């Protein structure tokens, strides 16, 4: 297996910068996800790793081997494309064996019996034994997905690249298949890059998540860190829910004070360590719904008052939407809290859960010494 290192990667299509300034290490045997909205550059980055695209500049290493100029078929990667891309006229067996038939190991072709054995192993791995003679149209969506996965795995790749492998499946099957992928990935211990735009999927299966927006990696960290300590407003907004309050810095220190437009002071901390906040800088405070409580836990808690807009029962909790001045806020409260639309509400956010972030996004990351984007400017 291999560790993949991406250095300074950039890929443009004419005027379009599909991805830029990508620096990351995808560790041996881990499952890393590329997560982000449509068009943010996930497929482009995956295809760069596979070798289907050449970067404008930058380098790709598999362990210490520079593979930037090595063609895809010499990188030993297995790829599942965004659509399954199965050959409709071929049987399941032939779809899977295709890669083996053209592959040579040390100049030698696989023998028919070796091919048989490997295809059957791959079919077993994806729990499709016995279905080798069917053609794709005789399979359900989930089964086609398994064939696509078996086809990527049969060549015993060093790296598995999966581009939105579950996007064509219904919700229940998605969950089933994602557990299946996790099982297979764990069993084989194969370095895997998994593309998705579904945050739940990413958070639930990944060792590491790279959150992307307009071609840039906004944050690359384990799932919990992404959720608990978002480094940009985009990440805070894209992953989970947040209430955002705009203001300006009125006092600096480990605790940051932020003056809201109505003069209220909110105290919080920043997850973006090393960022040089300035007095009077415009910033945004972010707080998760579950961190707004109906009773104070400490004297330092921020009190936020508003008018209830809507109460939604979500099972074990109620989600309360309320307005703080012009801002719409959300909190998650125990379902026995009795609230009516129009009533006044007072909620408390612990100082440590009130996240203060700069407005600048990627530009803010460029101001942090030691950050992969430090001092880089858009080229």
Ligand X SMILES: Nc1ncnc2c1ncn2[C@@H]1O[C@H](COP(=O)(O)OP(=O)(O)OP(=O)(O)O)[C@@H](O)[C@H]1O
Which of 30, 42, 174, 178 is in the footprint of ligand X by CB under 6 A?
42
DSSP 79-116: EE-SS----TTS-HHHHHHHHHHH-EETTEEPPHHHHH
Supply 146's token pair: 């398994």
CB nearer to ligand X: give 18 or 266. Answer: 18
The region that residue 15 occupies, defined by phi over 0 for left and psi between -120 and 50 for alpha, beta otherwise, is alpha
Q: What is the DSSP code (8-state) at residue 164?
A: S
Which among Mg ion, ligand X, none contacts residue 44 (Cβ within 5 to 8 A by kind)?
ligand X
The pattern of x and - marking residues 2 through 31 that bind ligand X according to CB under 6 A reads -----------x--x-x-------------
Between the alpha carbon of residue 138 and those of residues 85, 88, 141, 193, 350, the distances in Å are 15, 10, 10, 29, 56
106 binds ligand X, rule: CB under 6 A: no
Residues in region 30-59 near Mg ion by CB under 5 A:
43
By CB under 5 A, how many residues form the interface with Mg ion? Answer: 1
Size of the site for ligand X (CB under 6 A): 13
Please choose which of ligand X, Mg ion, none residue 39 contacts, taking the beta carbon within 5 to 8 angstroms, the exact cut-off set by kind.
Answer: ligand X
Q: How far is the CB of 195 from ligand X (least distance, A)?
A: 7
CA–CA separation, 257 and 50 (whole Å): 47
Q: Which stretch binds ligand X (CB under 6 A): 36-44, 59-67, 288-296, 299-307?
A: 36-44
Residue 102 main-chain phi, psi, to 5 deg:
-95, -10
Q: How far is the CA of 160 from the CAs of 79, 80, 116, 152, in angstroms?
A: 6, 8, 22, 7
Task: Report the residue from 146, 151, 174, 197 that binds ligand X according to the rule CB under 6 A.
Answer: 197
**Which of 15, 38, 171, 338 forms a contact with ligand X (CB under 6 A)?**
38
Q: Which is nearer to Mg ion, 43 or 144 (CB)?
A: 43
Is residue 235 within 8 Å of residue 364, measured between CB atoms? no
Stretch near ligand X under the rule CB under 6 A, chosen from 38-46, 118-126, 274-282, 309-317: 38-46
Q: Does residue 44 belong to the site contacting ligand X (CB under 6 A)? A: yes
State the number of CA atoms in the 13 A half-sphere of 196 facing the CB. Answer: 25
Separation of alpha carbons 128 and 334, rounded Å: 45
Placement of tokens 């992928």 in the chain: 181
- Residue of 3, 8, 39, 264 that binds ligand X (CB under 6 A): 39
Listed residue (108, 118, 111) closest to 78, CA to CA: 118
Out of 43, 143, 218, 231, which residue is the one contacting ligand X (CB under 6 A)? 43
Binding-site ranges for ligand X (CB under 6 A): 13, 16, 18, 36, 38-44, 82, 197
Binding-site ranges for Mg ion (CB under 5 A): 43
């Amino acid at each position: 297996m291999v560790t993949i290192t991406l250095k300074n990667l950039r890929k443009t299509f004419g005027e379009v910068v599909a991805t830029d300034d990508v620096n990351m290490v995808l560790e041996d045997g881990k499952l890393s996800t590329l997560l982000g909205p449509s068009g943010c550059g996930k497929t482009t980055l995956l295809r760069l790793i596979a070798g289907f695209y050449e970067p404008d500049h930058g380098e790709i290493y598999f362990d210490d081997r520079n593979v930037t100029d090595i063609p895809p078929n010499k990188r030993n990667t297995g790829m599942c494309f965004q659509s399954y891309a199965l050959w409709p006229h071929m049987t399941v067996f032939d779809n899977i064996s295709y890669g083996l038939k053209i592959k040579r190991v040390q100049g030698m072709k696989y023998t028919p019996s070796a091919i048989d054995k490997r295809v059957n192993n791959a079919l077993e791995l994806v729990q499709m034994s016995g279905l080798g003679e069917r053609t794709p149209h005789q399979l359900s969506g989930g089964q086609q997905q398994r064939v696509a996965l078996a086809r990527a795995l049969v060549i015993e790749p060093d790296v598995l690249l999966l581009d939105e492998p579950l996007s064509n499946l219904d919700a229940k099957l998605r969950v089933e298949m994602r557990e299946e992928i996790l099982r297979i990935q764990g069993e084989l211990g194969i370095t895997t890059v998994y593309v998705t735009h579904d945050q739940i999927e990413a958070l639930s299966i990944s060792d590491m998540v790279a959150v992307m927006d307009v071609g840039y990696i906004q944050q690359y960290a384990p799932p919990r860190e992404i959720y608990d300590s978002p480094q940009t407003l985009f990440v805070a907004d894209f992953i989970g829910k947040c209430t955002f309050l705009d203001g300006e810095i009125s006092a600096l220190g480990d605790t940051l004070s932020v003056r809201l437009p109505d003069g209220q002071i909110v105290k919080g901390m920043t997850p973006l360590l090393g960022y040089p906040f300035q007095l009077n800088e415009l910033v945004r405070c972010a707080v998760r719904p579950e961190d707004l409580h109906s009773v104070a836990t400490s004297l330092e808690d921020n009190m936020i008052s508003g008018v209830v807009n809507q109460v939604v029962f979500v099972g074990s909790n109620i989600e309360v939407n309320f307005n703080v001045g012009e801002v719409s806020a959300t909190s998650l409260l125990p379902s026995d809290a009795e609230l009516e639309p129009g009533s006044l509400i007072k909620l408390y956010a612990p100082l440590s859960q009130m996240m203060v972030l700069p407005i600048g996004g990627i530009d803010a990351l460029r101001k942090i010494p030691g950050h992969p984007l430090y001092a880089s400017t858009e080229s």
